[in-house]
Copies of this chain bind each other. A is one copy, B any other.
């Protein structure tokens, strides 16, 4: 059973703590969405930094309040930085969140995700196809987009959460925050979110910001709720996906 326990008071309180703390969030991000992700974190009230070089990723993670790893445009240099940062995060007890973009599409992505999962992310933020792939089911992915509705992946998310200990933040037309058997639905948002690149990456980064001030379950819930609210607000002021992407940043800052 999936409960709808969304509460405006809860996520607004987490956001208020982010804004009060302005936490430094260390991102090892992807080339496509680094700019919008950084702007979303700034709008939300965090202090983002994008640092990926293996020479400094672990040292930088130790300065941060949370770590975000997004494999969207991974290559050997970035993966080396990701592993060093994730290892340091695990050693320090620093919360971190993984965005397994396109896992299952290629052997390389699947293998890199397996290595990163060994460092025990606090939250995995993924679409249905990615959750199905991580849970060992094929067929839900086309490139980096999911073909499956999020509902179809809730049970897989439960298994993934049980197997990894992570909260699974499963996003789609309806989002789900899954911890073990417990799944909380978050509705709202707008279909335009699927028409611009980076809304998933932004959600992951906001999870990171919230992890700096809250436990994984409430952090994931707050980040996804904030995105749903911002998307709904932005859609009302948009003439299409281009202006929606701009209005989304404005809305996150409100």
Contacts and interface: CB of A to CB of B under 8 A. Distances in A.
Contacts of A42: 195-197, 241
Given A39-B197, A42-B241, A51-B102, A56 B109 contact: yes
Interface stretch (A8-16, A72-80, A117-125, A167-175): A72-80
Interface string A14-55: 000000000010100111111110110011000111111111
Nearest to A38: B197
Contacts of A195: 42-43, 253
Nearest to A45: B195
Copies in the complex: 3
Contacts of A107: 56, 59
A1 interface: no
Contacts of A245: 39, 242, 246, 249
A56 to B, nearest CB: 4
Nearest to A244: B250
Interface stretch (A89-97, A141-149, A151-159, A206-214): A141-149
Nearest to A24: B143
Contacts of A52: 73, 75
A163 interface: no
Contacts of A81: 75
B73 A51 contact: yes
Contacts of A109: 56
A109 B50 CA distance: 13
A3 interface: no
A35 B196 CA distance: 9
Interface in A229-252: 237-243, 245-251
A249 B42 CA distance: 19
B53 A108 contact: yes
A219 B46 CA distance: 33
Contacts of A26: 143
Given A39-B197, A196-B42, A47 B143 contact: yes
10 contacts: A30-B50, A32-B34, A47-B145, A53-B73, A53-B74, A56-B107, A60-B106, A240-B250, A242-B245, A243-B250
Given A43-B241, A240-B254, A242-B250, 6 more contacts: A39-B245, A54-B75, A55-B75, A240-B249, A243-B250, A245-B246
